[in-house]
Amino acid sequence: MPQDAPAPGAAPTAEQLEPVKAAVRALLHQPEYDDGSTGPVLVRLAWHSAGTYCKETNTGGSNGAGMRYEKEGGDPANAGLQHARAFLEPIKSQFPFISYADLWTLAATVAVAELGGPSVPWQGGRTDYVDDAKVPPRGRLPDGAQGADHLRFIFYRMGFDDQEIVALSGAHNLGRCHGDRSGFEGKWVNNPTRFSNQYFKLLLKFEGEWKKTTLANGLQQFVYVDEDLAGGEGEEKEEGLMMLPTDMSLISDPKFRTWVEKYAADQDLFFRDFANVFAKLLELGIKRDAQGHVVNDENVEDGYRS
Ligand code: DDH
């Protein structure tokens, strides 16, 4: 085992992680990709790796990095995340001691911080051991075409409450929808590579002006186009903004709305709550002993069994 690798069963130390984090930071800025940053899709990778968790059956979650395999990776909800995994592959080759499950979740925390967001507490030690009995069935991730009941059904299953659902949804300050991935189109905020509370502000600011549209593929979303910025004939058009039906349910449901209002008014509060809830998301289903070491149901020494 190389000197810089953690002992079996132990999480990488802060010192060992520093070069890994630096490599992730170096990877974020990609002028040719989307809006110039791989950060948003890396955040989504971590979220989808963890957001399959079910507290009743203790299945799913980020441990095991099951999305590497077709059963989970081929879930249509994960379309596009192969790009995020491919971005991280050279880092995995450079630092083989870090598990995929740790790398995916760590990369998201690096991205959030680099893009101006809060520092999310993160603990390592996840293994890439896939326990067949814990592979989640497809269909556990949210469907953007639905509403508040669906959000509660999906997120209560993971053990989150209404406030946490709203805080987590604030990740839509980052990135965009891609027609060839989810079928939805566009970005939520004008600067989708800067983490802020703008998403909550815009939900409220354009309330009443968000227009429901039906895309060519039949999906419905809400759009806002500033006519003043839309440009005349032949001019370059300012891209409009979008919201998913699930995003809009955060302002139509009174309990969710209270939190949208709080987060729109107070970015510090949003950052604090987001950091806590994102950390909680990344820990779902992970059992640790008193030293913080991850305990798998089966005792595997290096945790890698594919
Ligand atoms: Fe999301 N999300 N998300 N999302 N999400 C999409 C993109 C991104 C839903 C649907 C979509 C969270 C919650 C929800 C990010 C982070 C998070 C896309 C577009 C859809 C659709 C994908 C594509 O076409 O490429 C729905 C529905 C929910 C919900 O019901 C609450 C959460 C909790 C997070 C999080 O990180 C905590 C990010 C980042 C993106 C942008 C990805 C990119 O490539 O850019």
Closest by CA position to 128, among listed 96, 165, 101, 159: 101
Residue 251 tokens, joined: 């302002």
Residues 212, 208: Cα–Cα separation, whole Å:
10
Q: For residue 301, what pLDDT is reported?
A: 47
Which residue shows structure tokens 């959030």?
A: 112
Read off the pLDDT of residues 100-135 as tens digits, 9 standing for 90 and up: 999 999 999 999 999 999 999 999 999 999 888 888
Active site amino acids? 48, 188
Domains of the chain: 14-141+278-283 (1.10.520.10), 148-274 (1.10.420.10)
Phi and psi at residue 255, to the nearest 5°? -70, -40
pLDDT tens, residue by residue, 174-213? 999 999 999 999 999 999 999 999 999 999 999 999 999 9
Helix ranges (DSSP H) in 29-96:
39-50, 70-73, 81-94
Other beta carbons within 10 angstroms of residue 18's beta carbon come to 11
User: What is the predicted pLDDT for the residue at 190?
Assistant: 96
Ligand 1, CB within 6 Å, residue ranges? 40-41, 43-44, 47, 80, 142, 144, 151, 168-169, 171-172, 174-178, 181-182, 184, 244, 246, 278
* 210-242 pLDDT tens trace: 999 999 999 999 999 877 665 556 555 567 999
E strand or H helix at 203, and its extent? Answer: helix 198-205
pLDDT in tens, 269-296: 999 999 999 999 999 999 999 888 888 7
Name the residue with the closest Cα to ligand 1, atom 31: 169
Ligand 1 mean position, distance from CA 226 (Å): 24
Ligand 1 atom with minimal separation from the 179 CA: 24
- How many angstroms separate the alpha carbon of residue 15 from the centre of ligand 1? 32
Q: Which residue in 159, 130, 17 sits closest to 72, CA to CA? A: 130
Residue 298 vs residue 306, higher pLDDT? 298
